[in-house]
Amino acid sequence: QWSSASSEPGRSAATALLESRTWTLSSTRDGLEREFVFPGFVKAMRFINLVADECRLRKHHPEWANVYDTVRVRWTTHNPKGLSDKDVEMAKFCDEKAAEVG
């Protein structure tokens, strides 16, 4: 389910993320989900903090959970409801930061 805040390039980018099988579509079909596993708690927290800093700048926040070395992230837009360009951009940002953290 696409948000009215989505564009054709954003939809194409989301499709690419889904086809890469790194991200999955949420069960409600209005969000992107991924689980990141790091080599320890400190790196998981470093990832969380890097993403949190970007969230403040973009004023867009995920639904997420952390257990030791694992971080589960879900990007969706609540207003207007659905999957938006911001969700796709932040999913790509998460991939970049996870690779940086290791």
Contact 13, 88 (CB under 8 A): yes
Q: What per-residue confidence (pLDDT) applies to 18?
A: 87
The answer to whether residue 4 is domain-embedded is: no
Q: What per-residue confidence (pLDDT) applies to 72?
A: 98
Tens place of pLDDT for every residue, the chain, 102 residues? 777 777 888 888 888 888 888 899 888 888 999 999 999 999 999 999 999 999 999 999 999 999 999 999 999 998 888 899 999 999 999 999 999 999
What one-letter code names the amino acid at 47?
F
Q: Cα dist. 50→13, 27, 43, 47, 68 in Å? A: 22, 27, 11, 5, 17
What one-letter code names the amino acid at 12?
S
Q: Cα dist. 19→24, 33, 39, 57 in Å? A: 9, 13, 26, 28
Could you list the residue range(s) of the whole structural domain that residue 76 is in?
A: 29-101
The answer to whether residue 45 is domain-embedded is: yes
The answer to whether residue 39 is domain-embedded is: yes
Domain of 70, CATH number, reads: 3.30.1360.20
The answer to whether residue 5 is domain-embedded is: no
The answer to whether residue 46 is domain-embedded is: yes
